[in-house]
Amino acid sequence: MINANELRKGTTFLLDGELFEVLEYQHYKPGRGNAIIRTKIRNMRTGSIIPRNFLDGHRFEDAAVERRDAQYLYNDGEYYYFMDSESYEQQRVHADQLGKRAGFLKDGMEITLTVYGTEVLGVEMPATVELEVVESEMAVAGDTATGANKTVVCETGLKVQVPLFIAVGDVIRVDTDAGEYQTRV
């Protein structure tokens, strides 16, 4: 059991049978009365973020959430399969859980899985990935006074807005948080 005073950013705990992670934490002590712990917590299964206040002395059940290094293997359309780097066991993640981030996955890519017991709660991508451009729109330089962009399709099927000088066969670096082009490699 952990006390509300022990909550810090990144702490995971069970509240009303649900698994939560602390995103923000503030200890507030009014002039009189008990201290109040103001938090923003994220439900690790649904992803919803809620503000929640707790009184000093409130206790929670600790949740041992692990972060494991894994390697992306393949997908079958519905599930994405990863191999644990230490135990060599395969873990699968539903396509809905990955969402748009699935476009960043390349064969053999190293990622981090967030696991609670045997349940995979999330996939942490590296900050950037390098992808090869396989399809590009035709664009003519000189038609604009400012920097223009075009849409390209990468080897994973991901569509990215890039400058006009990017061509088929180029390798580009893409930010996985924003899904935006950073540079040509």
The pLDDT tens digits of the residues spanning 116-141 come to 888 888 888 899 999 999 988 876 66
Give φ, ψ of 138 to 5 degrees: -80, 135
Lowest mean pLDDT across 27-36, 56-65, 144-153, 166-175: 144-153
Render pLDDT for 25-38 as a digit per residue (tens, 0 to 9): 898 888 887 888 89
Residue 40, pLDDT above cutoff 90 = yes
According to DSSP, the residues that pair with 173 across neighbouring strands are 130, 183
Render pLDDT for 143-155 as a digit per residue (tens, 0 to 9): 566 678 888 999 8
Confidence category of residue 16, pLDDT binned at 50, 70, 90: confident
Domains of the chain: 2-62 (2.30.30.30), 65-124 (2.40.50.140), 128-184 (2.40.50.140)
Contact call for residues 22 and 39 (beta carbons, < 8 A): yes
Give the pTM. Answer: 0.73
Residue 67, pLDDT above cutoff 80 = yes
Give φ, ψ of 104 to 5 degrees: -90, -10
Sheet containing strand 119-124, strands side by side: 90-94, 79-84, 65-75, 110-116, 119-124
Confidence category of residue 77, pLDDT binned at 50, 70, 90: confident
CA 7 to the chain's CA centroid: 22
Could you give the C-alpha distances from 55 to 2, 23, 27, 50, in angstroms and in order? 13, 18, 10, 17
Could you tell me the two tokens for 177? 């948080």
